Amino acid sequence: MRLQLVALSGVFAALVFAGTQLRVPTGIGYINLGDAVIYVTSYIFGPYAFFASSIGSAIADLIAGYPVYIAPTFVIKGLMGAVGGLILYKASKPSFVRRLLAALAIEAIMVLGYFSFEVFFYGFTPALGSVVPNLIQATGALVIGIPLTYLFKYRFCDKLKSVK
């Protein structure tokens, strides 16, 4: 059963990667589906979502040609998956409010994580330029990700939870 968990984590890392590659332009950036997949990954794997979220997102940065972001993305997206998983995993059938709370926590980690990284490397003023595009990304992920969590049957999630 643990082998199934590892294999499914690999599949979800690939889904996070693929979702990150699907971009919808917004005029001042884009919305990708990677964070929405992280919501689903958190819902299914609980805090173990760290691995699929971090690996899939870091590989996406590597392929997209953003090597400077690989390490921070690994940490930020991993934390997003783990924290979202902690919020969603305890409830067998999470309410909309719990799903919204998880989504807001996940996206706060993303916006603040990248802002902090960019302040450290580029300075405060340039880092401010990333806040609005990241908030747009966060909003898009929230609108897409929460409904995605409803598509998964509770039995499927309960089966996975018994593997851990």
In order of start, what are the domains of the chain with their CATH numbers?
2-21+31-163 (1.10.1760.20)
pLDDT for 26 equals: 85
pLDDT for 163 equals: 53
User: What does the pLDDT profile of the chain (164 residues) look like in tens digits?
Assistant: 688 888 999 999 999 999 999 988 888 878 899 999 999 999 989 999 999 999 999 999 999 999 999 999 999 999 999 999 999 877 778 889 999 999 999 999 999 999 999 999 999 999 999 999 999 999 999 999 999 888 875 545 555 555 55
pLDDT for 2 equals: 81
Number of alpha carbons in the 13 Å side-chain half-sphere of residue 42: 35
pLDDT for 151 equals: 82
pLDDT for 153 equals: 52
pLDDT for 155 equals: 43
